[in-house]
Amino acid sequence: MKPVSNTTRIALYLYGFLIIAVLYLPLVSVGFASVSKARYLTFPINRYTSEWMVQAVTSPNVHDLVLTSLKIAVSVTVLSMVIGFFGALAFARFQWKYRNLFQKLILLPIFFPQTVLGLALLIWFSALGIQPSWKTAVVAHLVWIAPITTLIIAIRAYGFDPALEEAARDMGASTLTILREVTLPLLMPGVISAGLFAFLLSWGNFPLSLFTTGVDSTLPKWLYARMVSGYTPQIPALGVLSVVGSALLMTIGFLVFRWTRRRA
Amino acid sequence: MERLEHRLGFLTGLPIIVLLLISFIMPLFVVAGFAIMPQRVFELAHLPDFSSFAVIWEQGYYKSLLRSLGLAFLTTAILFVVCWPLAYGMAKVFGRFTLVITLAVVLILFVSENIRLFGWTLSLMKGGLIEGHLRAWTGLSFESPLYDWPVIVFGMAYVYFPFMLFPLAQGISLVPDDARLAASDLGASPARILFEIEMPLAAPGIMVGSLLTFVLSAGAVAEAKLLGGRSVVVLTDDVESAFTFGQNWPLGSALSLMLIVIVAVLAMVPISRINLDAIMGRKR
């Protein structure tokens, strides 16, 4: 006996397609808005223009925003890959005394509302006398993203055979050599996909950046400020460019991933 | 060997432990410290009092807390109903189509949530994607649902959809087909199978998904701002104004602290029960 009847089956498939359509509908609106010629947006759109896109790409203000977002995302990616690599070993590989407690500590920030975390960090930095800037935003992003990279790499670390490390140790390799020559190469696919996640999550993050970037503004934070104060055609144009950037990176990441797999 | 494992485990865990101690645990203590400071001070070097909580009570700030919790509860309930059939399909029916849905849902997470919510204002506004095309094609029209509380619930359900869907699908995949079949052979109705077999057996997934969406939407702010305009003031809004325009850190801290305590208590339940080794490390 099948678990469900054919009618239910078809209904579930249709439901699945409907949900995906609803998930992506707002992006369709943003896409159309970014190429609408009218300054006051109304649908259906009659005349199209690439003016807003060109304006967005050539504006020096936008270059600053992109640069800040990139600085933050790249720092977060590198740091969270390193922290996550070691964290994953403590999470999944080694049997140590406080491992259980450690695993739960890692989960806490993921379960935490990001806006509140951003505010708490703002108070904390002020109490320490640190002026908020893009560097403090890196710390804020790390609190949320490093646990995620740890989990992603941990999935890989659960899957590998500790006997490989033990064999290397029996043949006289030092702990550092084992890490570099055995553990790191084995976990590399996990580390790379964690890095991709880290970059994309940091690039698009807005609730953590809202309070922790100080005078530096990231692309999502600037967009939010503009959205709250009223519509201009620059908002959808920049939104589309930001999404296209992420999509390109994801495609490149995917291709690199497949290419390294084929070689291995 | 065992001592080495213990030392290595501690050493490799150290970077992220230090990171979380310095920039997660300690900030929370500072927030708690400011919550019991007199009004409008900017240092912790004062005699503690509970004036912030008195202000919260007297000036009605507790209403925005209750409002946020109410909206979060509604969001969670709606998401549970919306996600269950799809999660069921993903766990038991779809096969390869599960991968398509998983990819589609994960990829949308990489688009900044404010861009997606902004897309909804463009879709739902008067003359927006939906109303504009409807009027052009059929002549019919409807009032925009924007700037009211139901659209905020919709926005939160939209943004936190993946956080309910994936735990539910994981939970439903734990329900053995045999149990359903046995109940069905014994003459149980589909509704009875749902309530007495499937939901109890999928309880871990239901619990994780519900708490995750509840916690995240209780602390949400962008949905209320972008879709709700200024019509509904949620807790995080009040916290933000206390820190910015109000220049009253103790009040903002006390409001955050109330939310943090609720979140911590709720998050403890699934976190203390989950066996991470069993969930993630099936291969061993």
Asked if residue B131 is part of any domain, the answer here is yes
How far is the CA of A29 from the CAs of A248, B72, B117, B119, B156, in angstroms?
A: 20, 27, 11, 6, 19
Biggest CA pair distance of chain B: 78
Domain count, chain A: 1
Option in B118, B123, B256 nearest A25 (CB): B123
B115–chain A Cβ distance below 8 A for any pair:
yes
* 8 Å CB contact of B94 and A13: yes
Domain count, chain B: 1
A246–chain B Cβ distance below 8 A for any pair:
yes
Asked if residue A150 is part of any domain, the answer here is yes
Q: What is the pLDDT of residue B1?
A: 62
Contacts of A205 in chain B (CB under 8 A): 112
Q: What is the pLDDT of residue A19?
A: 93
Highest mean pLDDT among A99-103, A163-167, B16-20: B16-20
| pLDDT tens string A187-237 | 888 898 889 889 988 988 888 888 888 888 888 888 888 888 877 888 888
Asked if residue B240 is part of any domain, the answer here is yes
Asked if residue A23 is part of any domain, the answer here is no
Please identify among residues 28-47 of chain B the ones whose CB lies closer than 8 Å to any CB of chain A: 28, 30-31, 34, 42-44
At A23, give phi and psi (nearest 5°): -60, -40
Q: What is the DSSP string of B81-107?
A: HHHHHHHHIIIII-THHHHHHHHHHHH
Contacts of A140 in chain B (CB under 8 A): 23
Option in A99, A120, A139 nearest B31 (CB): A120
CA distance A35 to A172: 64
| pLDDT tens string A86-114 | 999 999 888 888 888 898 889 888 878 88
Asked if residue A38 is part of any domain, the answer here is no
Q: Cβ distance B240 to A119 under 8 Å?
A: yes
Asked if residue A194 is part of any domain, the answer here is yes
CA distance B110 to B102: 13
Q: CATH number of the domain that A148 lies in?
A: 1.10.3720.10
Complex ipTM value:
0.84
CA distance A211 to A137: 8
Cis peptide before A185 (omega within 30 of 0): no
pLDDT score of B212 more than 50: yes
Q: Cβ distance A83 to A150 under 8 Å?
A: yes
Q: What is the pLDDT of residue B92?
A: 85
Contacts of B222 in chain A (CB under 8 A): 206-207, 224
Contacts of B93 in chain A (CB under 8 A): 3-4, 9, 12
Asked if residue B29 is part of any domain, the answer here is no
Asked if residue A40 is part of any domain, the answer here is no
Asked if residue B54 is part of any domain, the answer here is no
pLDDT score of B68 more than 50: yes
Task: Give the tokens for residue B86.
Answer: 């799809």
Neighbours of B172 (CB within 10 A): 21
B178–chain A Cβ distance below 8 A for any pair:
no
Please identify among residues 24-83 of chain A the ones whose CB lies closer than 8 Å to any CB of chain B: 24-30, 32-33, 41-44, 82-83
Between A24 and A48, the more confident residue is A24
Range of the domain at B85: 61-280
B194/chain A closest Cα distance in angstroms: 13
Q: What is the pLDDT of residue A173?
A: 83
Neighbours of A185 (CB within 10 A): 11
Asked if residue A100 is part of any domain, the answer here is yes
Neighbours of B7 (CB within 10 A): 13
B28/chain A closest Cα distance in angstroms: 6
Residues B93-121 have a mean pLDDT of 87
B253–chain A Cβ distance below 8 A for any pair:
yes
Range of the domain at A156: 59-263
Q: Cβ distance A50 to A249 under 8 Å?
A: no
Least reliable range by pLDDT among A232-246, B36-50, B245-259? B36-50
Asked if residue B143 is part of any domain, the answer here is yes
pLDDT score of A127 more than 90: no
Average pLDDT, chain B: 84
Question: Residue A195: which of A232, A247, A145 has the closest Cα?
Answer: A145
C-alpha gyration radius of chain A? 23
pLDDT score of B134 more than 90: no
Asked if residue B44 is part of any domain, the answer here is no
Asked if residue A31 is part of any domain, the answer here is no
pLDDT score of B5 more than 90: no
| pLDDT tens string B258-284 | 888 888 888 777 777 777 777 675 544
Contacts of B280 in chain A (CB under 8 A): 92, 151, 154-155, 158
Asked if residue B35 is part of any domain, the answer here is no
pLDDT score of B114 more than 60: yes
Asked if residue A172 is part of any domain, the answer here is yes
Q: Cβ distance A237 to A223 under 8 Å?
A: no
Asked if residue B161 is part of any domain, the answer here is yes
* 8 Å CB contact of B122 and A243: no
- Residue B76's pLDDT band (boundaries 50, 70, 90)? very high
Q: CATH number of the domain that B93 lies in?
A: 1.10.3720.10
* 8 Å CB contact of A228 and B42: no
